[in-house]
Amino acid sequence: MEHAISSAQCVIFDFDGPLCHLFARRTAASVAGRLRETYATDADGSAGTWPETTDPLRLLTAAFDDPTLLSQQSPREMEQSLTLEEVAAAKLAFPTGYADALVRTLCATGRTVAVATDNSADAVARYLAGRSLLEAFSPGMRPGDGTPAQVCGRVCDGAGPLRLKPDPDCVLRALESTGADAAKTVMIGDSAQDVAAARAAGVGFVGYARNERKERELRGAGAEWVVASLRDVLLTVDPLAHV
């Protein structure tokens, strides 16, 4: 896999984890709590019929799978609320160690980079702009919403299912946005869903595991190369990188 990353023409990043810790300050649990309070249907304001989770994306998926969980609102409205929460969180997110240097080194050595994420593209763009990384993902801007063409977040048009990972939709869109060959592309992700989406899209995979639990999850999903620090990936891309 070291050869795959060193010879890759394109690297696709998952967002929350490999590029930053999105909910480092504005926590996922607090976001999920606010979504529950806003969209619970029970008369007493409780959310007993919703999944017991602190993951906002699981709540959103539940709303799309069963719109009767909502009262007067639509799943699309809930998705818009989550987007606002993610954009606010992006302003306070912690960068993942060596991620900025890795993105810049990939670009400096002629590679193309993209993002494939279940989070909103608006949140990714807000974060990248704050890190002066937006241009790396912006050979063109997407008409209509002004987000970078190579930032592929969740798509929510209010019709049909919500295609989150392990569905490869966002990875395939990232590939299409770069024009890259899947056989010469590697994805960096931090979840079992990322492993499955990369496999379905036909791209290589590098797992980023910030702790032992994540490493077990990734290896259990079939990831062959798992790193505890993106420094290892950076030095594989450029052995002379000053890290």
* Tens of pLDDT, residue by residue, the chain (243 residues): 677 888 999 999 999 999 999 999 999 999 999 999 898 866 565 556 788 899 999 999 999 998 888 878 899 999 999 999 999 999 999 999 999 999 999 999 999 999 999 999 999 999 999 999 999 998 655 445 567 889 999 998 766 679 999 999 999 999 999 999 999 999 999 999 999 999 999 999 999 999 999 999 999 999 999 999 999 999 999 988 766
* 148-159 burial: b if 16+ Cβ within 10 Å, else e: bbbbbbbebeee
Q: What is the pLDDT of residue 50?
A: 87
Q: Are 224 and 199 in contact (CB under 8 A)?
A: no
pLDDT at residue 145, rounded to an integer: 57
Distance, CA of 56 to CA of 85 (rounded, Å): 10
Superfamily per CATH, domain 2-22+94-237 = HAD superfamily/HAD-like (3.40.50.1000)
Crossing angle of helices 56-65 and 28-39, rounded to 10°: 30
Residue 147, pLDDT score: 77
Terminal C-alpha separation, the chain: 21
For the entire predicted model, the pTM comes to 0.94
Using CB atoms within 10 Å of the CB of residue 145, give its burial: 0 to 12 exposed, 13 to 18 middle, 19+ buried. exposed
Residue 126 near residue 87, CB atoms below 8 Å: yes
Spatial contact of 85 and 55, defined as CB atoms under 8 Å apart: no
Distance CA 224, CA 236 (A): 16
Looking at residue 46, what is its pLDDT?
A: 59
The dihedral built from the CA positions of residue 162, 103, 205 and 231, taken in this order, carries a sign that is negative
- Contact criterion met (CB below 8 Å) for 186 and 204: yes
The neighbouring-strand residues paired with 207 are 189, 226
